[in-house]
Structure 1
Amino acid sequence: MAQKKNNNDDNNFFNKNPLILFVIFALVIIVIFRSIAPTATGEVSAIVNGKQPVMHLTYSDIKKLAKEKKLEYVAIGKAIIKAKLKDGSIVTVQKVPGDTTLIPLLDKNNIPYGAINDSNWLNDLIFGWIIPIFIFFAIWMFLASRMQKGMGGVLGVGSAKGLIKSEKPDVKFDDVAGNDEAKEEVKEIVDFLKHPDRYIELGAKIPKGVLLVGPPGTGKTLLAKAVAGEADVPFFAVSGSSFIEMFVGVGAARVRDLFNQAKKEAPSIIFIDEIDAIGKSRAAAGQFGGNDEREQTLNQLLAEMDGFDSNEPVIVLAATNRPEVLDPALLRPGRFDRQVLVDKPDFEGRVQILQVHVKKIKAGKDVDLREIAKMTAGLAGADLANIVNEAALLAGRKGKKEVNQEEFVEAVERQIAGLEKKSRRLNEKDKKIVAYHESGHAVIAEITPEARKVKKVSIVPRGLAALGYTLNLPEEDKYLMQKRELIAEVDTLLGGRAAEEVFIGEISTGAGNDLERATDIIKSMVMLYGMTEVAGLMVLEKQSNRFLGGGFAQAREYSEKMQEEVDKFIKETLEERYKHVKNKLKEYAPVIEKMVKELYEKEVIEGERVRELIKEFENPETQKENNEKNEENNENGNNS
């Protein structure tokens, strides 16, 4: 028994150290090769291994010695000739390639000769054996590791622990702000994981799977970790894409192993991020079939979710921002039978998220988070976290001891408009065009009641292509927009191009994005919202994904005549609104000129200043009082 145990230990040693086994094998091969290699014997060995001093002669010398019959024995190699003279001395000669006269000369004079191996055995060993064997070994090890990984070595029993490990997150619900409704939806899952017997006794069946749906950056992964953190259970997190490999069947094996590990550590939570990577509808592949690996992985996931009992304390959480592409079998009751919307936060939600992140930095007393929340309507939690971090970085660059409100405002502008390009200075011509363009946007936004009010106007280049920008912010969160509000948005977008035409007399390429957005708004009014008489209540196009910015479907399901009417309506509406905007700008021409002048001097105008200029123009008495004050200030300055 002891002997058998020792043999097993030896086998285990070599299994754990295959390189040592390979080296021993290579050495044995080399020794065998060297032992069976032909060696010089007799006179050849004496010449090669003799102790006599060796003299170096020329090839003609060796021929001369052969003619004079002074040679006792000659050993001929590929490049070297060694000869033993009758006086006992040894001579070596460099052979002349291609010469065939030496051997007949030796035969003629009855001088015995033989062959020697004059090659470099070290070079032969390295280039003929070691390097090829090493290359073979490297390829062998690479293929073996890939095969082991592909055929279940990584996600087989035991080895999957290296890839998917359980953890117990320290995230709590208090760390997840701005999604109170979503937290309420998942609280019963936490209670079930803490007290499963309470629900089992009542006969209640907790949902096996919960699908977290929402735009990118809204905190779906954070919410999943908070569920595990509140329940204090193991948390298995994996991305949908990690199931897909080049070897067919790996994804299914990984799914099996993932569920086996979760069951062993139950109660537990499995979290699959970006589940759409493996859960796409199988019908979308068409009659030719889809990706076999993805389909096998999905089938295995469906089977596993059916395989464990509904009372078994294992909950599957998944996240996606593309719920419309998921396979219907994945969403039916008994699998992911509950969907939780994790949407972008409202005003109070943004305030709460900012409060969570501001705790991690040294914020000044002048920081007004509610004001920052007003400026960040429509941003997700990840965007707000980035704004807080960017504000702290800006304060650090300035050498401040705390982060103030001005850094937060600058961080918001960076998030919305991009990084300020101070090195990209505009020439006078471009500066004039941008000043009139942005002034047109700002004035139309302020004099249109339904439009979003102006926060700031700048002609400082930002981002990749913006030479200037007008920052419009809503006064409150809006979830619905009426027709007049959409028209007001179109008017604001057309204000820049109209100002160029009215005050400069020529348009530029700066309005390209404005016209694109204005066209999309009117197109949506016709094709999605039924706000026009062109299509009535018909919906001509469907949005592809509201979480990823929408967009229209590619397949057209209406007639050519309807398309012509839609195009005609969009064109006529744009022309009508453009004419209206030009007339308004001509009416407020003095305000535009004053704004352009101030933008030339300061490059940035706050929204309050824009409203002051408009108020002065609309109320001549106020304008007269301001002019008198300016004259008094100028006189006092001159007297001093």
Structure 2
Amino acid sequence: MSDNQEPDNTPNPWMKSLVVWGGIFLALLLVVSMFGGSRETAGTQISYSDFRDRVAEGSVQEVTIAPDLITGTLKNNGTFSTVPVGSDPGLTDMLDQANVEYSGKPADQGNLWAAILVNTLPFLLILGIAFFALRQVQKGGGSGAMGFGKSKAKLLTEKQGRVTFDDVAGIDEAREELQEIVEFLKDPSRFSKLGGQIPKGALLVGSPGTGKTLLARAIAGEARVPFFTISGSDFVEMFVGVGASRVRDMFEQAKKNAPCIVFIDEIDAVGRHRGNGIGNSNDEREQTLNQLLVEMDGFEANEGIIIIAATNRPDVLDPALLRPGRFDRQVVVPIPDIDGREKILAVHMKKVPLAPDVNARTIARGTPGFSGADLANLVNEAALLAARRNKRLVAMQEFEDAKDKVMMGSERKSMVMTDDEKKMTAYHEAGHAIVAVHEPASDPIHKATIIPRGRALGMVMRLPERDNYSYHRDKMHANLAVSMGGRVAEEIIFGHDKVSSGASSDIQYATDLAKNMVTKWGMSDKLGPLMYEQSQEGYLGMGQTQRTMAGAETNKLIDAEIKDLVESSHRRATEVLTEHEDQLHLLAQAMLEYETLTGEEIKTLLENGKIDRPDTPSGPVAVQPSHGSAVPRAGKRFGGGEAPQGA
């Protein structure tokens, strides 16, 4: 924390617990004194008339008289006690006549206090309930009985775990852009003496899991200032005006802890374009947004408060929120490239005992498109696999298996299929692989399997040799042809009437890709470089698309172009598999034999007609092409059929 930060006046939870238990103990003492603390009575309890008779007969030696109790000693050394009945003025005269020694005793103070407590207890109970209700109303954080308008922002301190830029990897550009905020929080005079003003807000934009929240916490950790965190959905309630009240309360808390950072996650929940609501424009969400705009840059300056927000959808935010003076900077937090993935893996691997064969660069190359959260999950899955296998170190094999699980899904080894279904699956996946091998623009094959994983009954996975930031027309046509390879292989080997439903996801992928090529990317010679389809924003039509510039004739032409692209890729796959049918049979038999083949093994098989596996007892195995049915190894359960996205 900074030196100029105000001390925290929040009561210590330990002291609060001590006060509560002390109150309970005191209440127990009072109860005991009221109901269990009555004084002991000495001797035999006798009636008052019997007492008078004994005095009259001379058997009483001495007595002690109190307002509510008389005790005494008999001449035979016995003791007694009795309760007087009313006032007896002649008692002392009777004692004098019988030569009985007597003395007085004041009333018991314990009983007096108990009586007072019994009379005042109802009033104390009412006052306690009223005090508790008042505290609930005044309680911060919106958790009280009447705390609707209180902010739900949580103050994170170093006790929750300090995060620094050393914990953030793979997003160097975004980190450098935010370094200036850290320097301002550490030394504001360095900028103010030259007339400079630090940006009031920074908007972190990126895909889910790229590290936006982690980056915001790192800024607070580096600057060592208070860090408030809240979600955009925490502002909006069903009651009109509550969100605006929470915004005001949040900034009041931030002013007391300035300089500080307020992090609003998923700000698009409250910061969407105004005027898109279903009802009138003066709804709860828009009131909350208006209050946020005023607090960030209104008449009253909020010095030392820096707002950092995160969103996956910057295109839906209100323009007033993005103007200079509010969110001055938009910092893009991208999906990491191969170097960034290697650095992220190094950060997460510090917590895992690694075997000597683990190579972070190799893992990074095989995980294109993975975000920081995906890579953290990959390392965790590898550690869990090693633990299940009773290993002391996490080896490269665990990382490879974890990568297959994350990218392709878990193996469904319990699925039992017939030999014909296994054969269908093997030829389907072999069709994808053969077309991919003979398409120059296709990515190289990483792995092919006929073991069911996730929702797929088989899969051919391709990985790019380097990170791709855009895709060319030839690669798209290659992907279309590869996606059709499985269906075409079934048609060639089993005939038109025996094709299966395993190509459903392939067909869906090919149709979506062809539609985007025609309507969004301008890759149709007949329709030209125009956009015929765009996404719809707002509450109505969220996540939907709508064709523009499209009359009846244009829609027919678009559908015809999409169909032509898919059918041409079908013809291309047919040409490749017809020309290389021997390779199709060879690869299908190998997949039935080995279940899973790597890209290098497929390449070796197609070049040499055999696979050299060190774990094979007889050494290199030659797989003979066969047009008949192949029976897999006994005791193995295979899957087959569907290859999502034809990849």
- Fold-level similarity (TM above 0.5): yes
AA partner of residue 467 (structure 1): L
The corresponding residue for 1:42 is none
Name the one with the larger helix percent: 1
User: SS at the partner of 1:612?
Assistant: helix
**Aligned: 1:385 with 2:386:** no
**Aligned: 1:312 with 2:283:** no
Q: For residues 20-419 of structure 1, what are the structure 2 equivalents within 5 Å? A: 154=144, 164-168=154-158, 170-285=162-277, 288-289=279-280, 292-307=283-298, 312-419=303-410
Deviations 1:136-167 (A, max 9, x none): xxxx9999999888996759999958862242
Change in CA separation of 1:412 and 1:291 when aligned onto 2, cut-off 3 Å:
farther
Query: 449, 458, 473: which one pairs with 2:463?
Result: 473
**CA–CA distance in 1 between the matches of 2:237 and 2:520?**
40
**Aligned: 1:586 with 2:578:** yes
Identity of aligned residues (%): 48
Whether the 8 Å contact between 1:151 and 1:247 is mirrored in structure 2 is no
User: SS at the partner of 1:542?
Assistant: strand
The corresponding residue for 1:439 is 430
User: SS at the partner of 1:489?
Assistant: helix
Change in CA separation of 1:630 and 1:528 when aligned onto 2, cut-off 3 Å:
closer
AA partner of residue 580 (structure 1): R
Whether the 8 Å contact between 1:176 and 1:226 is mirrored in structure 2 is yes
Change in CA separation of 1:299 and 1:588 when aligned onto 2, cut-off 3 Å:
same
AA partner of residue 521 (structure 2): Y
The corresponding residue for 2:566 is 574
Whether the 8 Å contact between 1:166 and 1:236 is mirrored in structure 2 is yes
**Aligned: 1:482 with 2:451:** no
User: SS at the partner of 2:335?
Assistant: coil
Deviations 1:42-79 (A, max 9, x none): xxxxxxxxxxxxxxxxxxxxxxxxxxxxxxxxxxxxxx
Whether the 8 Å contact between 1:153 and 1:159 is mirrored in structure 2 is no
TM superposition shift of 1:230:
0.7
User: SS at the partner of 1:339?
Assistant: strand
- Where in structure 1 do 4 or more consecutive aligned residues deviate above 4 Å? 140-163, 308-311, 627-631
Deviations 1:401-457 (A, max 9, x none): 100111101111111111111112322222111111111111111111110111111
AA partner of residue 486 (structure 1): M
**CA–CA distance in 2 between the matches of 1:401 and 1:434?**
37
Change in CA separation of 1:434 and 1:603 when aligned onto 2, cut-off 3 Å:
same
TM superposition shift of 1:533:
1.4
User: SS at the partner of 1:414?
Assistant: helix
AA partner of residue 467 (structure 2): D
Change in CA separation of 1:555 and 1:628 when aligned onto 2, cut-off 3 Å:
closer
Change in CA separation of 1:145 and 1:521 when aligned onto 2, cut-off 3 Å:
farther
Change in CA separation of 1:473 and 1:272 when aligned onto 2, cut-off 3 Å:
same
338-347 or 601-610: bigger deviation: 601-610
Deviations 1:109-135 (A, max 9, x none): xxxxxxxxxxxxxxxxxxxxxxxxxxx
Count of residue pairs brought into register by the alignment: 484
In the alignment, structure 1 segments of 5+ residues that lack a partner are 1-15, 21-139, 619-626, 632-640
**CA–CA distance in 1 between the matches of 2:504 and 2:405?**
22
The corresponding residue for 1:9 is none
AA partner of residue 427 (structure 1): T
Change in CA separation of 1:552 and 1:445 when aligned onto 2, cut-off 3 Å:
farther
Whether the 8 Å contact between 1:207 and 1:310 is mirrored in structure 2 is no
Whether the 8 Å contact between 1:590 and 1:617 is mirrored in structure 2 is no
User: SS at the partner of 2:533?
Assistant: coil
**CA–CA distance in 1 between the matches of 2:468 and 2:369?**
9
**CA–CA distance in 2 between the matches of 1:455 and 1:551?**
33
AA partner of residue 472 (structure 2): Q
**CA–CA distance in 1 between the matches of 2:249 and 2:156?**
13
User: SS at the partner of 2:434?
Assistant: helix
TM superposition shift of 1:598:
1.7
Change in CA separation of 1:552 and 1:494 when aligned onto 2, cut-off 3 Å:
farther
**CA–CA distance in 2 between the matches of 1:274 and 1:629?**
56
TM superposition shift of 1:243:
1.4
AA partner of residue 579 (structure 1): R
**CA–CA distance in 2 between the matches of 1:314 and 1:150?**
20
Deviations 1:193-214 (A, max 9, x none): 1111111111112111110000
**CA–CA distance in 2 between the matches of 1:353 and 1:344?**
11
The corresponding residue for 2:483 is 493
**CA–CA distance in 1 between the matches of 2:367 and 2:277?**
40
Whether the 8 Å contact between 1:269 and 1:316 is mirrored in structure 2 is yes
Change in CA separation of 1:451 and 1:569 when aligned onto 2, cut-off 3 Å:
same
The corresponding residue for 1:24 is none
Q: CA RMSD in A?
A: 3.3
**CA–CA distance in 2 between the matches of 1:407 and 1:262?**
46
Change in CA separation of 1:552 and 1:245 when aligned onto 2, cut-off 3 Å:
closer
Change in CA separation of 1:294 and 1:502 when aligned onto 2, cut-off 3 Å:
same
**Aligned: 1:522 with 2:514:** yes
The corresponding residue for 2:636 is none
User: SS at the partner of 1:202?
Assistant: coil
238-247 or 408-417: bigger deviation: 238-247
**CA–CA distance in 1 between the matches of 2:374 and 2:277?**
35
**CA–CA distance in 1 between the matches of 2:361 and 2:409?**
22
Deviations 1:371-410 (A, max 9, x none): 1111110111100000000000000000001001111011
In the alignment, structure 2 segments of 5+ residues that lack a partner are 1-19, 25-129, 611-618, 624-647
Whether the 8 Å contact between 1:155 and 1:254 is mirrored in structure 2 is no
**CA–CA distance in 2 between the matches of 1:356 and 1:576?**
47
**CA–CA distance in 1 between the matches of 2:469 and 2:154?**
40
TM superposition shift of 1:535:
2.0
Deviations 1:245-270 (A, max 9, x none): 23332221211111111111111000
**CA–CA distance in 1 between the matches of 2:281 and 2:316?**
14
Q: For residues 479-628 of structure 1, what are the structure 2 equivalents within 5 Å? A: 479-505=469-495, 506-543=498-535, 553-554=545-546, 556-616=548-608
Change in CA separation of 1:342 and 1:375 when aligned onto 2, cut-off 3 Å:
same
AA partner of residue 154 (structure 2): I
**CA–CA distance in 1 between the matches of 2:548 and 2:300?**
46
The corresponding residue for 1:60 is none
Change in CA separation of 1:613 and 1:451 when aligned onto 2, cut-off 3 Å:
same
Whether the 8 Å contact between 2:141 and 2:153 is mirrored in structure 1 is no
**CA–CA distance in 2 between the matches of 1:629 and 1:499?**
25
**CA–CA distance in 1 between the matches of 2:442 and 2:143?**
61
